[in-house]
Chains A and B, each alone.
Chain A
Amino acid sequence: MGEKLEIMERMTRKEYSTRFRIPSGCAVFGVVNQKGMRFSGQTVLEGITMMHDRSNGLGGGFAAYGIYPRFAQEWAFHLIYEDRIAQQQAEDLLGQNFEILLSEEIPTDGSIRLDQPPLNYRYFLRCQKNMGKHEQDFIVNLVMNINSNIRGAFVVSSGKNMGIFKGVGYPEDIGRYYRIQEYEGYLWTSHGRFPTNSAGWWGGAHPFGLLNWSVVHNGEISSYGSNKRFVNDFGYKCTLSTDTEVIAYLFDLLVRREKIDLRLLHLILAAPLWEEIERLAPDIRKVVTALRTVYGPALLNGPFNIIIGHNDFMYALNDRIKLRPMVAARHQDYMYVSSEEAAIRKVCPSPSLVWRPEGGQPVIGRVSIPRKAKLNQKAGV
């Protein structure tokens, strides 16, 4: 133990956790109101808490959309810092690039005991000059810059009107620590972690975020190496020592930059097997073959169940042969996705439809906010 403490002093927390990894499944839960009505984080908290036994206390987290209506048009950054030096360096960099409208510590509940929480800060930022369509690329580069060049500083989320709250602990503790029941959002995802191939550390907890994207994931990406090299060629650097990170970058690359239609995305990420493609009608076969060929290195192999959050939709996908559990449900304007049906039934006792998605078939819950509500949001009501 003495030796461990001594080593800890010389290492950053990431280095420490990576060294003393505890090899030990996961739980995912997502809910969206497709009309964009906001509701408390209590729902997602109850859902994920029901699946307590799927995680082991080494990671939990939440992504929330629609929680910052007052700053809906500004960039909302959540950062974690291991020390004040990291904070100073990161804030200097943010100050050089943005007008900082608000900078504050993320409110936490001190009565929840967690393992060495880092410093948690959030910033509402406006670009100093009008960058037009290049603004998002600029944000991506800045996030990559902070994560890889400022020791002890990590960007947890970097979207608009959204935020990610995560850490090392059970999801119910992490949720209460960040007081997520006090926020209101229209789309929530959450994760309970049981780390298998990488260390349980604060930055490595799910969800992972970039721009408006967030990813929670149960499983492992066996193709991580080739996916990582692929996104790297487009300027995305994987720095958080876990496979899930690369999924967030793939979504940004494929959907935002390559403009792949959401309804076709699974044909890349969980492409049908070649023998299945052979059986398709000729015109469809042509499209599917082209997608699989051009974006081959973006194929996610291995067992997985992922839920992607975005301001405009929730997207869930299983691997092709369904090696991880996933259940989905609909009730009125709500759509749910979960590792276990019981978690959905806990928060929505009698959904109008409960189904078990087929492997490789996406579940898409789009958000269309009625015009009037949108105007209110702009006005910050």
Chain B
Amino acid sequence: MSYCISAKGLNYRDLNQKIKVVLAKNPNPAMLTIKDVCGQKYIGDGIQADIQIQIYGVPGNDLGAFMDGPHIEVFDNVQDGTGNTMNEGSIIIHGNAGDILGYSMRGGEIFVEKSVGYRSGIHMKSYGKKVPVMVIGGEAGNFLGEYMAGGMIILLGLHKKESRQAEMTLGCDGEIVGNYVGTGMHGGIIYIRGRVSDYKLGKEVKQMAVDAQDKKILRTYIQKYQKYFGKSQPLKTDGFTKLIPFSHRPYGKLYAY
């Protein structure tokens, strides 16, 4: 069965309570649609179920935090902290995302049609078979993959971020990624279309060419991206660069005695 909830005028507590009530009555609805969302926080948080949730409107901070299974599709922009510490499931965003997207994410997938703010993928981590993946269709702000410990970030650069239309940035270089990429990174992989100026790289990461295995991975996720958002242009997998950390424990010796 499908359910539809209107979030109009609802406080975040009341909205999330309503969602819980629906799921308590029917643990496996075919689809849960939430309309008229405007800034309600914590939607989908902590839900352990393999369900589809569609969101219309701008959801508030920490969308899908700690969630373990749901497939959330948002037909608008999202705010800060989306996918915070999520464990399983997926979040598909038809728009832009705010800061700290996928903060400490440990499993599941996030697909963003357009651009993301600062510190996306900060402290993502993987363990065993759980490998979180974040695919960004547009550009990324500063500190992409800061303190990243595992998982994968793919940056496609198909859309220019809106701030370029609005601001004159000093020393703007036209690259699709901001400064301080992978600062403190000690695990995982970041794929970026094009090259990255060396000064932008955190001290802990190196830039490498993609190999056949990488191209295979890229092809899989690009196809998935195109499935969600439609084909905008053909994408070749060889124009990418790969960022990986020099060491799994860059400061392992620093505190040794």
Q: A residues bordering B, Cβ < 8 Å?
A: 50-51, 53, 267, 272, 275-276, 279-280, 284, 288, 321-322, 325, 327-328, 330, 340-343, 345-346, 353-359, 361, 363
Contact = CB atoms under 8 A, between A and B. Distances in A.
A342 B162 contact: no
User: Lowest 9 CB-CB distances: which A-B pairs, in order?
Assistant: A342-B39, A355-B162, A355-B163, A342-B58, A322-B118, A355-B166, A356-B117, A342-B38, A361-B167
B84 to A, nearest CB: 14
Contact of B161 (A322, A355, A359): A355
Contact of A358 (B60, B96, B141): B141
B141 A50 contact: no
B77 interface: yes
B142 A322 contact: yes
A342 B79 contact: yes
Contacts, number: 93
Task: For chain B, give the interface size range.
Answer: 20 to 34
B171 A321 contact: no
Interface in B127-185: 141-143, 161-163, 165-167, 169-171, 178-179
B38 A363 contact: no
Contacts of A345: 38-39, 57-58
B255 interface: no
Determine which residue in A267, A356, A359 has the highest number of CB atoms from chain B within 10 A of its CB, and name it: A356
Per DSSP, are chain B's interface residues mostly helix, strand or loop, or mixed? Answer: loop
Contact of B60 (A279, A340, A354): A340
Interface in B75-100: 77, 79-80, 96, 98-99
B61 interface: yes
15 contacts: A322-B142, A325-B99, A342-B38, A342-B58, A342-B59, A343-B39, A345-B57, A346-B38, A353-B162, A353-B165, A356-B98, A356-B117, A356-B161, A357-B163, A358-B178
Contacts of B12: 53
Contact of A363 (B59, B167, B170, B199): B167
Contacts of B57: 342, 345
B121 to A, nearest CB: 15
A280 B77 contact: no
A355 B79 contact: no
Contacts of B163: 355-358, 361
Given A322-B118, A354-B77, A280 B41 contact: no
Interface in B171-220: 171, 178-179, 199
A342 B170 contact: no
